[in-house]
Structure 1
């Protein structure tokens, strides 16, 4: 399959240095890799693949242009969408609950990048109660924003993400929901998306019920050791600011970037409200495990009895 040539050189100087020195990315390598991956995807009877170049380059970059690692990650991504359908179902940005979460800035990447070139994402758990939502609702807007915006963001696919999670407002009921979905969430975070998490920055942990410690313990067990070590708990905003500069953060966290709602209203909500048809079309891109040649990905991901397996894909 011939690949139409485009210039995918990132504009940010820090990212240019990373792709040049760490990924050894050249236009020739991009073209050859894209052609190989597209041909491979079209030969997979169980995958209905998204084939646009920018989407696939994110997976190549996260896999450091290892073609086998890229194939494995893409296979996991499309399979994850079919094996965790509740995360991707009814993703309508005009749905009252989902629109409310988007408007209030419940999950969003910040407009300013981190000095290391990565992007900072912010999750505000307390907004769930304000909009009478559950964990599935915040997961759905997260996959919506990730699929529509984050996968196409050079900062995220090249340099990774600092994920700030404000867990104040996590009730016993919400924590229980997270525990019930922990296997799928851990898989999605570690293996499905072409975004490398540099650190999780948890704040307001002291304002959560005791069951939240079980949530932390569960994810530290499900995550690979390297990922588990990236979970940082900040006792105060001063500690957070040592890792994430104030100019990047929303006002609610001692920053200068505007409120969560203002950031989302300016940078995220307009894109998502224009993406209703895109999201409807995006629903088709997934696997059909009944057509897979060989063992079902369900067994590979979750084990024969449904227990989570630590996949060694970085």
Structure 2
């Protein structure tokens, strides 16, 4: 038997029906993946059963897709440490940003048996003090814990709610095409978390410029999971009932300060993880076959200097 957490009966049923999981083949699937990693001279990856099965589930048990995602996961974290957490993680600096509450993971999944819910509040950080890159790296602390521990998110996916109330031009100016491309590529090609929807609420003037820049960078499937509600909360509630929002939003899904406090304890418990992570990554000089063409992968530059946000 593989050394992994047992899924709840409900999640196990979903994994079998929707992710192509065959429980009595897990040992073989994990062994095949571990053998492949050992044969890659350029790649040093974690190979514990739980890590590998999480990637297999996130790729619906396509072995080739899983290989590609694990490779991209470590390749991008090694190549672009300023964007993605990996090596030399300053947990204290990231915690300072985390405490602002820009990103909140909600405890009850949608409909209590659906995707994990994440609330993103961009105006919680001061763009004159922090960059969006720093905020994204701080979010990586939570993301890694979800990758390791959150079976609901791995099996059922993740729905994000972006509350853009009180965002300023300063926030949007940090969302360059280059940054947006790095985020979408990592989300779609490196993470085993499957986005099930992104909902935008309280969208200000100028939002369309950003939205129309990011949308073409995403796969057609993910483009179909974008929902812009403007200021129409009822439209959001039609897809995410109000009770699944935090109490500060009139819901019943936890209090934001308490949730942040709970997550801070989990993040602190992961300090040693980031020390260990220094041992993992890629060495492109040892890669067999075609090198990664980073320029074509992220071939976008520029920013928005004429953007006005009300």
* TM tier relative to shorter chain: 0.7 to 0.9
> 1: CA distance between counterparts of 2:88 and 2:166?
25
Match of 2:261 among 260, 265, 268: 265
> 1: CA distance between counterparts of 2:23 and 2:10?
18
Alignment partner of 1:31 is 2:27? yes
Runs of 5+ unmatched residues, structure 2? 301-310
Deviation at 1:119, TM superposition (A): 0.5
Aligned to 2:226: 231
> 2: CA distance between counterparts of 1:133 and 1:217?
25
Alignment partner of 1:18 is 2:14? yes
Tell me: CA distance 1:112–1:265, structure 2 relative to 1, closer, same or farther (3 Å). same
Deviation at 1:61, TM superposition (A): 0.8
Runs of 5+ unmatched residues, structure 1? 309-314
CA RMSD of aligned residues (A): 2.2
Alignment partner of 1:216 is 2:211? yes
Partners of 1:101 and 1:127 within 8 A in 2: no
Q: Matched residue pairs, number?
A: 295
Deviation at 1:131, TM superposition (A): 9.1
Range 161-170 or range 245-254, more displaced: 245-254
Aligned to 1:137: 134
Range 212-221 or range 82-91, more displaced: 82-91
> 1: CA distance between counterparts of 2:77 and 2:27?
27
Alignment partner of 1:303 is 2:300? no
Match of 1:194 among 192, 199, 221: 192
Aligned to 1:48: 44
Range 214-223 or range 83-92, more displaced: 83-92
Q: Summarize the alignment of residues 85-100 of structure 1 with structure 2, pairs less than 5 Å apart.
A: 85-87=81-83, 88=85, 90-95=88-93, 98-100=94-96
Aligned to 1:184: 182
Deviation at 1:132, TM superposition (A): 2.7
Aligned to 2:275: 280
When normalised by structure 2's length, the TM-score is 0.87
Partners of 2:54 and 2:147 within 8 A in 1: no
Equivalent position SS for 1:121:
strand
**Cα deviation code 1:255-308 (max 9, x no counterpart):** 122332221212x111101222212222432222222112222x1x5418x526
Deviation at 1:152, TM superposition (A): 2.8
Equivalent position SS for 1:61:
helix
Tell me: CA distance 1:224–1:40, structure 2 relative to 1, closer, same or farther (3 Å). same
> 2: CA distance between counterparts of 1:33 and 1:253?
43
Tell me: CA distance 1:92–1:261, structure 2 relative to 1, closer, same or farther (3 Å). farther
> 2: CA distance between counterparts of 1:84 and 1:130?
21
> 2: CA distance between counterparts of 1:302 and 1:247?
45
Partners of 2:160 and 2:198 within 8 A in 1: yes
Partners of 2:123 and 2:168 within 8 A in 1: no
Match of 1:289 among 280, 284, 289: 284
